Chain A
Amino acid sequence: MTTVLVTGVGSVLGSLVAGILASQSNIRVVGVGRVAPEYTPASVEVRVCDMSGETLLAMMRAARVDVVVHLDIAGEEEAPPYEIAGRGNVYRAIEVLGACHAAGVPRVVMRSSLLVYGARPDAPVFIPESAPLSSGAPAGLLQDYIEIERLVGDFKVRHPNMRIVMIRCAPVAGNGVRSPVVQFLSRRPAPVLAGFDPRIQVLHIHDAAVALALATLNDQVEGAFNIAAHPPLILSQAILLAGGQPLPLPAFAFHAASFLEPIRSLIGALPFPIEYLNYACVGDIRRAACELHWTPQRRPDETLREIATVTA
């Protein structure tokens, strides 16, 4: 009997992962979150708590947890003003990792983002997991992921016995969820850089949930995995399929947005730095196929069409 603790069970992804795990034999699933999920899969023990390190530690000790799946990331599914979320994602990851270490939990599966590699002109067409990470992004969800990745890197050096799996998901959509990048894709107009059309990956939320569940169940794997639908789309096509309308603007318009109000309201907030409109950040998903035995079941165009139909 393996006991799995799923954090962020209140989110759609969290409840999907908890549901998949609970339906396996010999798995006991404890779900914690700051809010209760709208739909609770049968046989998942849901606890609502403040998600502080001490509460989690007590819970892990009491339930004798074997694996922790950390999915409590603010800003992926709901759209909180960033001021409220603050750097909560990074602090929460620190608390979860600390509690896991103190409680002697040997394995942790964490959700991360495929965009952590950054968008560079010299990046490989399919970026492997071993590639260096982006040096940083403006404060926001992406920067949180980059900081969490760095933190995990340091943590692994100090605690070599803990096995940490990072599931680097492409922007997720489906089941009513639209991650910030997918929301950008369905914007009318969606500002893009004139003369550039990089490739972009998306991911259906069911495929993301399956990948997280497979990583939880497979106790041989360790390290990072790129998870995305295949093949990548090109940005303008992704926008059209997601029901958005690309608006090509020259680079100086994006720079002018910092001081010209009309342009700022037109461009709005981008979910990533402008380089991602310039160069591709496309992950190589072969490691996940090989070691996790995960393959995407949903094609990217189906995933985006689903979003477009829901919005319309």
Chain B
Amino acid sequence: MSESPEAHTGDLPINGAQDADNVQETSAVPVVEDQPAVQNQLDAPVETADDAAPAPEEEISVTSTAEPVAPVDAVETLRAETAATVQELEVEIRNQTEGSAETRDLAADLLRLIRENLERLRPPALDNVVTTLRQNVFNSDYLDPDFWRGIAMVLQYQVTELTALIQRRLRGEFAVDAYGMDSELIELVRPVAGFLYRSWWRVTSEGLDGVPQDGAALLLANHSGVLPWDSAMIATAVLEDHPSQRLVRSLHDSWMTNIPGLAPALAAFGQVPASPENAMRLLEDGHLVCAFPEGVQGAGKLFWNRYQLTGFDAREYIRAALRIGAPIIPVAVIGAEEIYPMLINVRPVAQLLNLPYFPLTPLFPWFGLLGIAPLPSKWSIIFDTPIDPLAYGPKAADDSTTIAQINDLVQRRIQALLDERTAARRSIFFG
């Protein structure tokens, strides 16, 4: 029984959770010793059956460096306290009357930047920042050179932390979930989405309490606005204003997976190509799924057809929701039709570029990149009362008539909300 060294290279004990960096230091465990461990699993296959289903939600964390273990609550308290103090100081500086206005505003803006960046800091860097803030910034006047030195040091820590984040990602040390969603990237763009939500489109959202706190649910929304900003804003509404800050998994048309750069970005932000199978799988895993049953037809509506649902067919998604028993929530988005008023759809150009439509708007393509900036219309997003799938009985998922009825009901409810709200608003830009 000869044992060659090659057979053992990189051989880890089958149940040993070891740091990969230590593989070569740990003595290679012979193949023989592996097998009893494997055998244990084999001799009792039925016992493992209950926990056999792979945890779909499980995210893997691939950070190899040992993080200092600090209680999460303590870190969060420190973060919140520091943020509050920085904010107080910012307000105080803004209210001061002496000194030049420029210096005052610069100091206040820098403090705001520091406060916003605090969210992203992890324990070692966070401690440094807090110490520096306490020593140099909190107790000194903003005209004091010590104040500015403190600010500079804090910013340097924060830049170092961002660089560390990029370097870590370049080593492959980040986590995505089973669908490719990258929570770290979502946190990075969250301030931008928050800005669009609160300041650019001033979105008011209603009926969020109808969206369940957890478990599967299906949102069905009207689609508009050439680029899927409506999808992003529905997700932001739930993420920012819903009590449990859920992540919405939007279904996007699968032609988007053919566009370089867009496909990985959509996956990183938790979006999944639209198909009944994918909707079913997401609902089975207990996700909050958002579908746009009009598809590209809805997004590519001409301006004079705005707020008229076209080709609304959610039947396969409704079937999936009925199978799972997930509530169906009609969603009406008002304001997104006006962000890119599409006057003409140039079909030949669209065909040439292999796009679903090629819009001419008052700004695009005449003003180049400026034309891609969406107009700041006033939005509202209304989450209608959920439709309870259990009210339709257990066999509803196999009954095409019931499904068609629910589809009609959802369409009528969204259309009624759209008609009512567009009639009630006085201005596109001010609501």
Contacts and interface: CB of A to CB of B under 8 A. Distances in A.
Interface of A: 12, 15-16, 19-20, 23-24, 38-42, 121-122, 124-126, 128, 174-176, 193-199, 206, 209-210, 213-214, 217-218, 230-234, 236-241, 279, 284-286, 289-290, 292-302, 305-310
A293 B257 contact: no
B48 A293 contact: yes
B35 A20 contact: yes
B36 interface: yes
Interface stretch (B65-73, B150-158, B170-178, B367-375): B170-178
A261 B128 CA distance: 54
B7 A296 contact: no
B207 to A, nearest CB: 29
Nearest to B48: A293
A191 B260 CA distance: 15
Contact of B42 (A20, A126, A175, A197): A20
A254 to B, nearest CB: 13
B261 A297 contact: no
Contacts of A198: 263
A309 B21 contact: yes
B38 A20 contact: yes
Contact of B171 (A39, A240, A307): A240
A124 B277 contact: yes
B35 A19 contact: yes
Q: Is the interface of B mostly helix, strand, loop or mixed?
A: loop
A306 B23 CA distance: 7
Given A20-B38, A124-B281, A218 B176 contact: no
Contacts of A297: 14-15, 41
Interface size class of B (residues with CB under 8 A): 35 or more
A4 to B, nearest CB: 13
Given A175-B7, A293-B46, A197 B263 contact: yes
A194 B263 CA distance: 11
A31 B34 CA distance: 19
17 contacts: A24-B42, A38-B3, A38-B6, A39-B2, A40-B1, A121-B258, A128-B277, A176-B8, A195-B262, A214-B42, A230-B178, A231-B60, A234-B264, A295-B54, A299-B60, A307-B10, A309-B24
A196 B176 contact: no
Nearest to A310: B10
A239 B258 CA distance: 22
Nearest to A288: B52
Contacts of B21: 309
B171 A306 contact: no
B38 A39 contact: no
Nearest to B53: A289
B86 to A, nearest CB: 35
A23 B35 contact: yes
Contacts of A121: 254-255, 257-258, 273
A194 B260 contact: yes
For the complex of A and B, list the 4 residue pairs with the smallest distance between their C-beta atoms, beginning with the closest. Answer: A195-B260, A240-B172, A305-B20, A231-B178
A302 B20 contact: yes
B176 A125 contact: no
A57 B52 CA distance: 38
Contacts of A15: 31
B10 A309 contact: yes
B92 interface: no
Interface string B48-69: 1101111110111010100000
Nearest to A239: B172
Contacts of B49: 293
A176 B9 contact: yes
Contacts of A195: 259-264
Nearest to B9: A176
B303 interface: no
A24 B43 CA distance: 8
Contacts of A234: 176, 180, 264, 267
Contacts of A285: 54
Contacts of B20: 302, 305-306, 308-309
Nearest to B59: A231
B146 interface: no
A266 to B, nearest CB: 20
Given A209-B38, A293-B48, A175 B273 contact: no
Q: Which of A39, A213, A233, A298 has the most CB of B within 10 A?
A: A39
Interface in B358-392: none
Given A121-B258, A125-B179, A213-B42, 11 more contacts: A38-B4, A39-B1, A121-B257, A125-B272, A126-B281, A231-B60, A232-B180, A237-B62, A240-B171, A240-B172, A306-B20
B32 interface: yes
B275 A38 contact: no
A40 B217 CA distance: 54
B393 interface: no
B178 A232 contact: yes
